[in-house]
């Protein structure tokens, strides 16, 4: 049976997984009491880079969670790079135990990508929103006069952002588009001009490609 692993983690799985397997074999032969150490490291790698299949609700009205984790903030902010307007920001904190593959929350076209170098503050720190290394992706929803933005933010441990897309790409709702390696934060920005009903609350656990963050009212078609 195939273990669903993220293609974005192939390098790390080979770089660290092979030594763990070799180390486990060496330990079994010569030092059986240390076998749990390489096995633990291998299980951590497999758990971190797991990429389970998800059945995503398909609806032009819904905005789906782009990441697994816990909703840490639902606040008004001005998004200055792509939307350039007042927005509702929903932040999701991902611990090292969460699935880290990111998924597109809407059926949309990529119109904007900007990678910004910065600090590596704890992803739970509100300052990381403006100071940490991040990648912003702007999406125009198919069939609607609506745009949203998604920001992948590096954390204290997470220092590698993968955004496997380019301007012009069209994504289905729930389709994989990248990941952040080893703990991080993902944020969704919805313009205040859009009639948007938030359907999650701070502290709630969400699942990428499954949990509905909110609903766009029909008049924004």
At 12-51, the pLDDT tens digits run 778 777 887 888 787 788 878 888 888 888 888 887 788 8
Quick one: 68 and 27 in the same domain? no
Which residues are catalytic, by number?
A: 184
Quick one: 81 and 16 in the same domain? no
> Is residue 187 in some structural domain?
yes
CA distance 59 to 44: 35
Residue 5: other Cβ atoms inside 10 A: 18
CA distance 141 to 152: 19
- Please give the pLDDT value at position 221: 44
Quick one: 122 and 209 in the same domain? yes
- Please give the pLDDT value at position 125: 58
Quick one: 81 and 178 in the same domain? yes
Quick one: 11 and 114 in the same domain? no
| Strand 176-180 to 161-163 pairing | antiparallel
Quick one: 38 and 133 in the same domain? no
> Is residue 213 in some structural domain?
yes
Quick one: 102 and 152 in the same domain? yes
Residues of the chain with pLDDT under 70: 1-3, 118-131, 155-159, 183, 218-221
- Please give the pLDDT value at position 209: 93
Give me the domain span that covers residue 13. 7-48
* Residue 67 · residue 54 · CB < 8 Å: no
Quick one: 80 and 38 in the same domain? no
Residue 83: other Cβ atoms inside 10 A: 20
> Is residue 134 in some structural domain?
yes
> Is residue 209 in some structural domain?
yes
CA–CA distance from 9 to each of 19, 147, 216 (Å)? 16, 30, 34
- Please give the pLDDT value at position 3: 60
Residue 59: closest CA among 169, 215, 181: 215
DSSP 50: B
Quick one: 70 and 170 in the same domain? yes
> Is residue 53 in some structural domain?
no
* Residue 101 · residue 136 · CB < 8 Å: no
What's the pTM? Answer: 0.85
CA–CA distance from 89 to each of 35, 39, 73, 121, 194 (Å)? 46, 40, 7, 19, 13
Helix-strand-coil percent breakdown of the chain, rounded to 5?
20, 40, 40
- Please give the pLDDT value at position 103: 95
Residue 89: other Cβ atoms inside 10 A: 18
Quick one: 76 and 40 in the same domain? no
> Is residue 128 in some structural domain?
yes
CA distance 188 to 143: 19
């Amino acid at each position: 049976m195939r273990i669903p692993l993220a293609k974005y983690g192939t390098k790390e799985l080979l770089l660290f997984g092979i030594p763990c397997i070799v180390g486990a074999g060496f330990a079994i032969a010569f030092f059986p009491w240390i076998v749990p150490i390489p096995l633990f490291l291998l299980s951590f790698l497999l758990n971190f880079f797991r990429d389970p299949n998800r059945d995503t609700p398909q609806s032009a009205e819904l905005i789906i969670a782009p990441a697994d984790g816990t909703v840490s903030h639902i606040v008004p902010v001005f998004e200055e790079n792509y939307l350039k307007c007042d927005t509702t920001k929903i932040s999701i904190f991902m611990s090292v135990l969460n699935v880290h593959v990111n998924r597109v929350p809407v059926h949309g076209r990529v119109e904007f990508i900007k990678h910004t170098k910065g600090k590596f503050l704890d992803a739970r720190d509100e300052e990381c929103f403006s100071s940490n290394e991040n990648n912003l992706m702007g999406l125009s929803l198919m069939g609607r006069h609506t745009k949203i933005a998604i920001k992948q933010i590096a954390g204290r441990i997470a220092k590698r952002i993968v955004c496997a897309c380019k301007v012009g790409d069209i994504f289905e709702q729930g389709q994989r588009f990248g990941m952040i390696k080893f703990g991080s934060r993902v944020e969704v920005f919805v313009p205040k001009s859009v009639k948007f009903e938030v359907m999650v609350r701070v502290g709630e656990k969400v699942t990428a490609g499954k949990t509905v963050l909110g609903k766009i009212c029909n008049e924004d078609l």
